[in-house]
Structure 1
Amino acid sequence: MNRQVKGKTPRRPPPKKPSSNQKDPVGVYCRVRPLGAEDKECCIEVISSSTIQLHAPEGFKLNRNGEYKEMQYSFKKVFGVSVSQMELFEHVARPLVDDLVHGKNGLLFTYGVTGSGKTFTMTGSPGLGGLLPRSLDMIFNSIGPYQAKRYVFKTDDKNGLDVQSEVDALLERQRRENNLPAPKSSSSRQKLDPEIADMIRPEEACKADGVDEDSCFGVFVSYIEIYNNYIYDLLEENQEDTIKPKPPQSRILREDQNHNMYVAGCMEVEVKSPEEAFQVFWRGQKKRKVANTRLNRESSRSHSVFIIKLAQAPLDADGDTILQDKNQVTLSQLCLVDLAGSERTGRTQAEGTRIREAGNINQSLLTLRTCIEILRENQMCGTNRMVPYRDSKVTHLFKNYFDGEGKVKMVVCVNPKADDYDETLLVMRFAEMTQEVEVARPVDRPICGFTPGRRHRNQAFKDELSRMLEERGGPVDRDLPSVMNHLVQSLPPLPSSELTDPHDDITLPRLIEALENRHRIRQMMVVEFNKAADIMKSMLQDLDSNLLSKDDYINQQNGKLSEKDKIIQVNKAEIERLEKRNKMQDHKIDILQKTTKIYEDDKRSLQHELETREQRLMREQSEKRRMEQRMNGVVSDTQHKWEKECERRVNAMHVEMQNKLWVKDEKLKQLKAIVTDSKTPGRPEPPPRQTPTQPRPQPQYQPRPQPQSQSQPRPQRSSREERLPAKRSASPSPIPTATPVRPLHRRSRSAGGEKWVDHKPSSNLDLGTVLQPVIPNSIQVSTPSEKTLSKCDRYVLTHQEVASDGEIQTKLIKGEVIKTRGGGQSVQFTDIETLKQELASVPSRKRRSSEGVLINGDRMDVENRCSVALEMRAGSNMGPGVEHHGFTKRRK
């Protein structure tokens, strides 16, 4: 539900304008300026009456192929150097003036680079009038005999007109003549400036066809400029103050009741001749902002808009006076726009105010280009993007024309010199894009329902009445004031009535006699007037009788016309029925076309989606195949690696078992020798028992060759694991000297009452590291919870990441579980331990049967080898409660 704000008048909906399905593209014409005397190279060539070709000048940037690209552009018509102003007017402006006389709007603007001849095309020069003066001349040649008297039409300052009676118009003229100085005569060309007279003097008079003779016309002109995106009235009469001149007041744009844009407070001057209208234009032209730049001696620094507004009001049924009905007034206007030229500050070398003016000019032209692009996109692609008319005063003022309020034409002026080639390319692209924009064709305005030819019939009746009066001896003069003047002048003049002597008896009798003569003549005139009145009455009676006889004939003809009208009505009804049927079929065709378009769009989108999915599926399949190949390679490499590792371990265990067997064999041999010596008679006593400090002789034995090759890779071990020699168990002394002492292991801190939360994410990989953390009293979880933390005192997180050398390293992040005041648990981290895999180096190992065993290059006998033991120790860098089961070397 729409709510209206209290205290504000709701906005009225726009009136329904007659719609027209027919559209016309924007008419774009091209005019080529003659090449200057100082310019030598020409970059534009006119190929045909509608096509031009651009040649890149020397030194211009080449295309990708290393060649100069020649581009062709087509227009509705191309005007070369030899085309006259009259020929240009006939093709461009004359159709717009013809539409103006018939109640339709029009917009004509010139566009181009600075110095390309836009102002000359619009205004002209002495002897070569441009589009504007020729349009004025054609308007007044067409409506000259049918113009209303001055001030019959009066502006209402709301983009509308009021109609006054002739009496009110006469009083208005007298009031203005008394208040203002007498206006200059607009009908005499001798009082005009000779240059202005040459501009508005065409080679041949142009006149529009089909002008409504039963209407009266009034012409109003206004002249504004858009300078720095502000609107100024060039016809505003300011009081000149030499001490402190008053700056001009900017105007604002408003919307009338028909939603048409207009300049509020702009002065509109009623003109009665082309000379007077051009004088008004020239008066405003002197106030326009121009400046001298490097490229143009008189460069326009603003966009000028000359608006010609034509009012048309029908006559009454008798064809004598104008209807006093504002709704019957038809108002049409023609806007002639001279856009300022786009320029680059790098070429003009402008500074200060000139730079600001150039920036505003280029910005307004860019906004015009943007609006044209969006209009073209909406029409060609079916989109509904908002056109930014309000970003510039130029586009905001003329938005109604692009929405279908009249025809739009553009004259593109180009300079063929090589220096303007870059900017000419941009102008050509904009003109080519503008031709693709279509504007709704304006419909004909309705005319009042009176019988046409009223003015002509009224004039014919007056001529017939004068002829009949002349035949019967009546007054020949057709104008009553002229008859009265003739009668007054026929009376005898009065003698001088000045009395200088009281006894003068001549003057008074002479005056009395003259008065009697005048009285007698007056009586004769009254008699003649009565006779003429009687004759007039008889003529009117005869005319009435003739009219009655003619009425019978007219009634017969009217009966026939009514029959014809009935037939016409039947035909019209049939035509309307067929038109409705045609519209219905067109509507169905449009619906089918739209449905087809929708289906085609859906089909294209589905095909595109299908192709996209097929491509994605193919990519996924190829990725899957690559992944399978990669995984197969990884599996084969891992399998090969573990096979070698298993083989190495089996060989190592085999060597270890052989060493143990050798040690046992040595012990048995020694024991056998002892037993044998003790049983043999005459055997010498055994040598004394050696103390641990004394060296014992080592048994000699021949070790078997090691089956493992030197090139066999060693397994990866933890970074904290020490490098150990080959795992060979050394045999102890055959006769122990003391009771063996079992080493005490350090008790881990985790063996106490502490409990651990072992947090191992499910994404961790099993790397097979030799040293692995073992936490006996722990709860292993993949995601910790509050319940789990409440049962434990310590916390350890296993985290894996890629190291700088590309290997995966494991971090153990440890902390303590602390109870918070709110009854929850928090973890305070205290230590971080890093486990990293490295490739252990393989020590060289040699054996000699005669010299015992060589370990790392040192010779060791059996006793020395037996003195090496293996002990389980906890990692020194581990935190409390975490053990690493590893091997360290310890000598006795």
Structure 2
Amino acid sequence: MIRPVKGKTPRRPAQKKPSSNQKDPVGVYCRVRPPAAEDEECCIEVISGTTIQLHPPDGIKANRNGEFKEMQYSFKRVFGIKTSQVELFNDVAKPLVEDLIHGKNGLLFTYGVTGSGKTFTMTGSPGQGGLLPRSLDMIFNSIGPYQAKRFVFKTDDKNGMEIQNQVDALLERQKRESQQSLLKTPSSKHRLDPEFADMINPGEACKAEGADEDSSYSVFVSYVEIYNNYIYDLLEEVPIDPIKPKWNGGGTPLRNTEFIPPQSKILREDQNHNMYVAGCTEVEVKSTEEAFEVFWRGQKRRRIANTQLNRESSRSHSVFSIKLAQAPLDADGDNVLQDKNQVTVSQLCLVDLAGSERTSRTRAEGNRLREAGNINQSLMTLRTCIEVLRENQMCGTNKMVPYRDSKVTHLFKNYFDGEGKVRMIVCVNPKADDYEETLLVMRFAEMTQEVEVARPVDRPICGFTAGRRQRNQAFKEELSRRLEERGGPINADSTSIISQLLQSLPPLPPSEITDPSDDHTLPRLIEVLEKRSRIRQMITEEFNKTANMLKSKLQEFDGSLSAKENLIHDQRGKLGEKDKVILNQKTEIDRLEKKSKMLEYKIDILQKTTNIYEEDKRSLQQELENREHKLQRELSEKKRIEVRMQGMVTDVKLKWEKECERRVNAKQLEMQNKLWVKDEKLKQLKAIVTENKGEQSGKPQRPSREKDRVAPKRSASPSPAPTGPPVRPLHRRSHSAGGERWVDHKPSSNLELDTVMQPNLPNAIKVSAPSERALSKCDKYVLTHQEIASDGEIQTKLIKGEVFKTRGGGQAVQFTDIETLKQEVPAAPSRKRRSSGNDPPKDAAMDGDWTDVETRCSVAVEMRAGSHMGPGYQHHGYQKRRKP
């Protein structure tokens, strides 16, 4: 058969990485499961096709503020309780299958609490097939006529595909069939479980448009589960390990084989940084029934258990992967192109996540408790990865996403990094008991919608001319038609005629001659041989006729082929001229595109500069406003301080005016007292002189200074002298003998002296430091002060004062008196003192060896609450020392 001339294998164009600005958000859909009973209390209401409302049940209708709160959540699409499996598939999974046929990856997973309908959504039931069987059916309906023979495509166990020619594929197929016959393993073509044989109705079948008819396709499926954070292959044939047989007493073996439990698989990374399960079984399937039979074989091995919330609860995450390999046909359009670089592999992962659950509700124990802990931990890792991705995209951070913390996230990290579309179906149960778990699921789904995934790139287009398969088929049909017109087809009618002639050959009769007189055997043999010779000649003539006809046709085809080659040569010349024109146009377009990009770049720079200037302008305006506000605050504060200072100055001025007036009055009173004392002394002296000189001299009594201080202002003229005999002056008692309450302030640094006379303060509060509380309870104050005198002795001063309240609400002390207690050595000559005529008599010190000191103290020290007393006092007066 004549084939078109083969062209060179085109170079595979380099794949461009998706640009950062081409991103699509994760598509999140919500499906509400029908309630188990009509009268069951529900907490979910479908508001519209994209919004649901979640309201708390009767038990927890109040939030922290004690208010009733209803929350609404929006999704890309909300499917109510009346949504069929077909509607769900058309909106969610069908676009992913179309992308799979066009060479793009996809990830679809179901998420929700236990018993929310995830497995039913993914798998379905008889007559209501889920997303998985419908996806398989759509794939095979789309690529059915274009499938390659078995073992033409061969997996390399590293996310890649190898390609074999027809002969190698046939040998591989025969080898596998012989191995299966030797091992007696069941063939892949068995009958499907009748319960799941009719999951899809014939009227619901769909087909994807756009399958490349110039390519060959092959489908591979794998099925794994992630159980307790370990990956197990559900399609792995459990090997049989021969062991030493055990014998019973009669000599018959008990057993000689033992099943080996499946081993967990390891995640690895290929040269393109894509994750894959090392050693995972990938089965090549050629029909929907065969693919679903493989799925159901693995589904029987999946781990499920009976819990308080679900009778058949999934205890692991299941991952069913559909891998589609496609490669273009060669230039003849007959065989697959033997170039590994031209093979495109796309993958669709259907993930059924295990349900999140609270152990307090399931009351799990032992293995069930461990399974629930691992399930919740893996789902928590998935939430953490989504949160970090969302934060990196929204805040511009570059935090590391913890994919490796769980096998689920580590296996699918490539999808979130831009290797395909990601879709999630959130399954919810409207019953009120699942309200708290449903609330957490809604929050996670709402957050997932904000994550964006890079848009996958389109599959590179092969450089061969389109329509090769169709032209090859048309060529075969035309060749058969022309052969029929010119004497029948070579391969069909000629062969049938020759076979008929061969069948018409008479068999040779028996040629044994036992009798010399036998005249029948030889003539019969000669007749048969002549007949066979004629048939042989007819076959030779038919063969020559067919050879001549074929020779003439070949010559005719050679002539037409040369003419077509000349035509093709002319067309190629024209195409070359057009290519030059197109090249020039393309060069001009490239120049214009570069110029446009340069202008766009300049526009971007100008826009960024404008934005920077506007931002600086806004910041300067904000700073100016802040400074104006600050200046206004300072001005108002300055005015307030000025008003306050004016008030304080006025108060201080009035205070000092009163203080000066008081001091002037006190000074006037003191001068008047001194003048009065002198007048009294003169009067007494005059009285003494006029009396008898022999009479006993005496000293007139001076009036009490307390009366002088309390009495009102008097005139400077003295009062008339008393006519009676002079009265002996009395000793003034210490102020500490009064009935007032005192504050006895003795610092801790004072020393205890062994003096006989010590001050006695009844009703006194003793303190060692200034105390506002003590001052508020007393009306008198005394401070014990010790210092070293000039003669080296320690003298003690009792500084007394009155306590009164101040205008600011504190306590102030005004000192009015100072008493000095001093201990002297009588033998010291420097301390002796002669008594003068003005000294009082000895019996004046009847109360002890210490006499009162006539002192006037003008001390004004204002002690606020919590402050220390300053040393600002003045001492005026004199003292009478102890007599030897």
Common fold: TM-score over 0.5? yes
Structure 1 distance, partners of 2:34, 2:287, is 33
**Contact 2:501 2:539 (8 Å CA) reproduced:** no
Match of 2:274, as an amino acid? N
Distance 1:659 1:290, change over 3 A: same
Distance 1:770 1:223, change over 3 A: closer
After superposition, what is the alpha-carbon deviation per residue over 1:101-156, rounded to whole angstroms, capped at 9, x for unaligned? 11111111122222221111111111111111111111112222222222222222
After superposition, what is the alpha-carbon deviation per residue over 1:504-547, rounded to whole angstroms, capped at 9, x for unaligned? x9999999999998898667545533432322121121122233
Structure 1 distance, partners of 2:878, 2:240, is 112
After superposition, what is the alpha-carbon deviation per residue over 1:538-564, rounded to whole angstroms, capped at 9, x for unaligned? 112112223334445555555555555
Moved more, 383-392 or 204-213: 383-392
Structure 2 distance, partners of 1:145, 1:215, is 10
Distance 1:30 1:843, change over 3 A: closer
Distance 1:669 1:526, change over 3 A: farther
Q: How far 1:472 moved relative to its partner?
A: 2.8
**Contact 1:648 1:708 (8 Å CA) reproduced:** no
1:174 aligns with 2:174: yes
1:304 aligns with 2:286: no
Distance 1:698 1:161, change over 3 A: same
**Other-structure match for 1:450:** 464
After superposition, what is the alpha-carbon deviation per residue over 1:76-116, rounded to whole angstroms, capped at 9, x for unaligned? 33222222212221221111111111111111112222222
**Other-structure match for 1:490:** 503
Structure 1 distance, partners of 2:373, 2:614, is 46
Q: How far 1:309 moved relative to its partner?
A: 0.9
Q: How far 1:301 moved relative to its partner?
A: 2.3
Q: How far 1:591 moved relative to its partner?
A: 3.9
Matching of residues 846-861 of structure 1 within 5 Å: none
**Other-structure match for 2:441:** 427
Q: How far 1:870 moved relative to its partner?
A: 5.8
**Other-structure match for 1:22:** 22
**Other-structure match for 1:366:** 380
**Other-structure match for 1:126:** 126
Matching of residues 10-409 of structure 1 within 5 Å: 17=17, 19=19, 21-37=21-37, 40-62=40-62, 68-180=68-180, 181=183, 191-199=191-199, 202-239=202-239, 247-409=261-423
**Contact 2:853 2:878 (8 Å CA) reproduced:** no
**Contact 1:186 1:275 (8 Å CA) reproduced:** no
Structure 1 distance, partners of 2:526, 2:643, is 146
After superposition, what is the alpha-carbon deviation per residue over 1:786-820, rounded to whole angstroms, capped at 9, x for unaligned? xxxxxxxxxxxxxx99967599xxx9xxxxxxxxx
Match of 1:431, as an amino acid? A
After superposition, what is the alpha-carbon deviation per residue over 1:167-203, rounded to whole angstroms, capped at 9, x for unaligned? 2222222322233346656567xx2111231225553
Moved more, 102-111 or 239-248: 239-248
SS for the counterpart of 2:709 is: coil
SS for the counterpart of 2:295 is: helix
Q: How many matched pairs?
A: 736
After superposition, what is the alpha-carbon deviation per residue over 1:567-592, rounded to whole angstroms, capped at 9, x for unaligned? 55555445444444444444444444
**Contact 2:109 2:353 (8 Å CA) reproduced:** yes
Structure 2 distance, partners of 1:291, 1:508, is 88
**Other-structure match for 1:869:** 853
Q: How far 1:51 moved relative to its partner?
A: 3.1
Match of 1:159, as an amino acid? N
Structure 1 distance, partners of 2:235, 2:317, is 15
Structure 2 distance, partners of 1:836, 1:214, is 119
**Other-structure match for 1:794:** none
Distance 1:384 1:627, change over 3 A: farther
After superposition, what is the alpha-carbon deviation per residue over 1:698-718, rounded to whole angstroms, capped at 9, x for unaligned? 466898642589xxxxxxxxx
Structure 2 distance, partners of 1:354, 1:687, is 128
**Contact 2:238 2:259 (8 Å CA) reproduced:** no
Distance 1:837 1:626, change over 3 A: farther
Structure 2 distance, partners of 1:163, 1:226, is 31
Match of 1:259, as an amino acid? H
Structure 1 distance, partners of 2:479, 2:381, is 64
**Contact 2:31 2:78 (8 Å CA) reproduced:** yes
Q: How far 1:283 moved relative to its partner?
A: 1.9
**Contact 2:111 2:427 (8 Å CA) reproduced:** yes
SS for the counterpart of 1:137 is: helix
Match of 1:29, as an amino acid? Y
Matching of residues 666-685 of structure 1 within 5 Å: 666-677=680-691, 684-685=692-693
**Contact 2:506 2:531 (8 Å CA) reproduced:** no
**Contact 1:256 1:262 (8 Å CA) reproduced:** yes
Distance 1:686 1:405, change over 3 A: same
Structure 1 distance, partners of 2:572, 2:431, is 70
Structure 1 distance, partners of 2:208, 2:260, is 44
Q: How far 1:211 moved relative to its partner?
A: 1.5
Match of 1:528 among 542, 565, 569: 542
SS for the counterpart of 1:672 is: helix
**Other-structure match for 1:706:** 709
Distance 1:422 1:461, change over 3 A: same
**Contact 1:43 1:56 (8 Å CA) reproduced:** yes
Distance 1:843 1:539, change over 3 A: closer
Q: How far 1:165 moved relative to its partner?
A: 2.2
Moved more, 423-432 or 452-461: 423-432
After superposition, what is the alpha-carbon deviation per residue over 1:667-691, rounded to whole angstroms, capped at 9, x for unaligned? 33333334334xxxxxx4423579x
Structure 2 distance, partners of 1:328, 1:708, is 126
**Other-structure match for 1:716:** none
Match of 1:165, as an amino acid? N
Q: For structure 2, which runs of at least 5 residues remain unmatched after alignment?
A: 1-13, 242-254, 713-725, 727-744, 750-767, 776-782, 784-798, 805-812, 818-838, 857-870
After superposition, what is the alpha-carbon deviation per residue over 1:31-54, rounded to whole angstroms, capped at 9, x for unaligned? 222121265233333333333333
Distance 1:701 1:548, change over 3 A: closer
Distance 1:282 1:666, change over 3 A: same
**Contact 1:186 1:273 (8 Å CA) reproduced:** no
Structure 2 distance, partners of 1:447, 1:660, is 128
**Contact 2:316 2:354 (8 Å CA) reproduced:** yes
Q: How far 1:245 moved relative to its partner?
A: 6.8
SS for the counterpart of 1:436 is: coil
After superposition, what is the alpha-carbon deviation per residue over 1:757-805, rounded to whole angstroms, capped at 9, x for unaligned? xxxxxxxxxxxx999x9xxxxxxxxxxxxxxxxxxxxxxxxxx999675
SS for the counterpart of 2:463 is: coil
Distance 1:476 1:534, change over 3 A: closer
**Other-structure match for 1:722:** none
Q: How far 1:620 moved relative to its partner?
A: 5.8
Q: How far 1:621 moved relative to its partner?
A: 5.9
**Contact 2:221 2:284 (8 Å CA) reproduced:** yes
Moved more, 360-369 or 145-154: 360-369
Structure 1 distance, partners of 2:91, 2:584, is 42
SS for the counterpart of 2:197 is: helix
**Contact 1:494 1:511 (8 Å CA) reproduced:** no
Moved more, 556-565 or 416-425: 556-565
Structure 1 distance, partners of 2:53, 2:379, is 24
SS for the counterpart of 1:387 is: coil
Matching of residues 481-630 of structure 1 within 5 Å: 490=503, 525=539, 527-555=541-569, 558=572, 561=575, 565=579, 568-602=582-616
Q: For structure 1, which runs of at least 5 residues remain unmatched after alignment?
A: 1-13, 678-683, 691-695, 710-733, 735-768, 774-799, 812-834, 846-860, 873-881
Structure 2 distance, partners of 1:384, 1:661, is 97
Superposition TM-score, scaled by structure 2 size: 0.71
Structure 2 distance, partners of 1:179, 1:702, is 138
- Identity, in percent, stands at 69
Structure 2 distance, partners of 1:839, 1:127, is 102
**Other-structure match for 2:432:** 418
Match of 1:706, as an amino acid? R
SS for the counterpart of 2:290 is: helix
Structure 1 distance, partners of 2:80, 2:463, is 48
Structure 2 distance, partners of 1:327, 1:351, is 53
**Contact 1:39 1:417 (8 Å CA) reproduced:** no
